[in-house]
């Protein structure tokens, strides 16, 4: 019985500590884009393909890159960002992402702002054709424009400055909108319910597990 009490206490303290760590962290936010607008235009792509395109300015502190690609079960994505011919950052996302209209690839943190970057994306073998989204961009060579191709929209993400904790009141306000029952009070109701759930489960554990 003592071991159950200790396990329960340790477990709940660890959960509370993890919650504290999470709410002290900052949500990621969009720090920049490659200036290609989000648009419904898309082309189908097959797996095992590779493309490079202008990446615009990569903001300092970028830790993830969100690409406008859509799949039910997406292929693996390998992403490299270059400044000239020098690699700046890279990352990989395993196959299996989706269902989404975007895929986020974590990358090693970018330590300084990189202007006029080049972005190269390689898609692995795919189960199904997937969509890449963006806008038609002129394709140019040294001799001038030769046509158009679809430029992939890319967003650069990094942790914001405000912690979840400092955003709590605005999050609570939004939680009270858009459904019934409405009002910020429902957040307190949710907290009360989950505390009741935790108390009931703990009590049952202490009563039954011996």
Partner 1 sequence: MSHLRRVPSAAWICALIACLNAVCWSVITPPFQVPDEPSHFAYVQTLVENGRLPTAGTMPSEEEQVALRDLDNKAVKWHPENQPVTTQEEQLRLQHDLAGPLRRSGPGEAGVAASQPPLYYALQTIPYELGSSGTILDRLELMRLLSALMAGITALFAYLFVREALPGVAWAWTVGGLSVALAPLLGFMSGAVNPDAMLYSVAAAVFYVLARAFRSGLTRRLAVAIGVLIAVGLLTKLNFIGLIPGVIVGLVVLARRAAGTLGGAAYRSAALAIAIPASLACLYIVINVFSGHPGLGVVSSAIHLTGRGSVLSEISYIWQFYLPRLPGMVSYFPGISTTRQIWFDKSVGQYGWLDTTFPVWAENIALIPAALLTILGIRELITVRATLRRRIAELAIYALMGAGLMVLIGADQYVQSLLKEGETYAEPRYLLPLLPLLGAALALSARGAGRRWGPAVGTLIVVLFLAHDLFSQLQVISRFYG
Residues making contact with partner 1 (CB under 8 A): 1, 3-4, 6-8, 11-12, 14-15, 18-19, 22, 27, 30, 47, 66, 70, 72-73, 75-76, 93-102, 106, 124-129, 155, 164, 167, 171, 174-175, 177-182, 186, 189-190, 193-194, 196-198, 200-201, 203-205, 207-210
Are 41 and 150 contacting, i.e. CB atoms less than 8 angstroms apart?
Answer: yes
What tokens appear for 182 in the block? 């409405």
Alpha-carbon gap, residue 165 to 25, rounded angstroms = 8
Alpha-carbon gap, residue 86 to 192, rounded angstroms = 54
The least distance separating partner 1 from the CB of residue 84, rounded to whole angstroms, comes to: 30
Nearer to partner 1 by Cβ, of 116 and 194: the residue is 194
The least distance separating partner 1 from the CB of residue 113, rounded to whole angstroms, comes to: 22
For residue 155, the cross-strand partners are: 33, 66
For residue 87, the cross-strand partners are: 82
Nearer to partner 1 by Cβ, of 116 and 162: the residue is 162
The least distance separating partner 1 from the CB of residue 149, rounded to whole angstroms, comes to: 23
Nearer to partner 1 by Cβ, of 85 and 208: the residue is 208
Q: How many helices (H) and strands (E) does the chain have?
A: 3, 12
Nearer to partner 1 by Cβ, of 116 and 204: the residue is 204
Render the burial of 7-18: b for 16+ CB within 10 Å, e for the rest: eeeeeeeeeeee
The least distance separating partner 1 from the CB of residue 59, rounded to whole angstroms, comes to: 16
């Amino acid at each position: 019985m003592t071991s159950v009490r200790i396990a329960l206490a340790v477990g709940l303290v660890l959960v509370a500590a993890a919650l504290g760590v999470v709410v002290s962290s900052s949500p990621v936010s969009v720090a920049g884009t490659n200036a290609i607008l989000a648009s419904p235009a898309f082309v189908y792509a097959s797996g095992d393909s590779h493309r490079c395109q202008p990446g615009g300015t990569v903001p300092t502190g970028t830790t993830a890159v969100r690409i406008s690609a859509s799949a039910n079960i997406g292929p693996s994505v390998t992403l490299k960002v270059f400044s000239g011919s020098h690699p700046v950052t890279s990352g990989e996302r395993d196959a299996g992402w989706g269902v989404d209209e975007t895929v986020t690839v974590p990358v090693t943190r970018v330590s300084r702002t990189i202007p006029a970057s080049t972005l190269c994306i390689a898609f692995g073998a795919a189960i199904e054709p997937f969509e890449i989204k963006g806008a038609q961009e002129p394709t140019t060579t040294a001799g001038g424009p030769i046509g158009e191709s679809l430029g992939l929209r890319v967003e650069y993400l990094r942790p914001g400055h405000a912690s979840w904790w400092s955003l709590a009141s605005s999050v609570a306000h939004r939680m009270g909108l858009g459904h019934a029952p409405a009002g910020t009070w429902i957040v307190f109701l949710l907290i009360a319910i989950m505390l009741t759930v935790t108390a009931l489960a703990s009590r049952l554990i202490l009563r039954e597990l011996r």
